[in-house]
Amino acid sequence: MSGDYEPTSIVKLKEKLADPSVQKALKGFSKTVQFSLTDLKKDYFFRIDDGKLASLEKKKEANANIVVTIEDSLMVSIMNGTASPITEYMKGRLKIKGQIDDLLRLQKLMS
């Protein structure tokens, strides 16, 4: 990801995945996550291995375990605690696809 502007939400997600307390909470969690930032028309594919960021690519991957579709600014607001993920999901501004167990674990990244 060299030389390319990274949206604030992606930077924040990488910081979260580097946090030892988040890594501990996600221990045993090995999944792929697709973030589609609708306002920026950009897609980011995360590979998480045992709670740690294994890779990050700027691409759309059809076979991700979890797919999150959201605006960059709204994702930042959720991560800062100024917006509720439940409320935004109910409004249709946050769309998430995946197994419920995976989604519950993923909350650690978005809070």
pLDDT score of 6: 92
Dump the DSSP string for 13-82. HHHHHH-HHHHHHTTT--EEEEEEETTTTEEEEEEEETTEEEEEESS--TT-SEEEEE-HHHHHHHHHTS
CATH superfamily placement of domain 8-110: SCP2 sterol-binding domain (3.30.1050.10)
Q: What is the pLDDT of residues 42-74, one digit of tens each?
A: 999 999 999 999 999 999 998 999 999 999 999
| Domain boundaries along the sequence of the chain | 8-110
Which residues neighbour 5 within 8 Å (Cβ) at sequence distance 6 or greater? Answer: none
Q: Which amino acid is at 3?
A: G
Q: Locate tokens 């990488």: which residue?
A: 14
Q: What is the pLDDT of residues 78-97, one digit of tens each?
A: 999 999 998 999 999 999 99
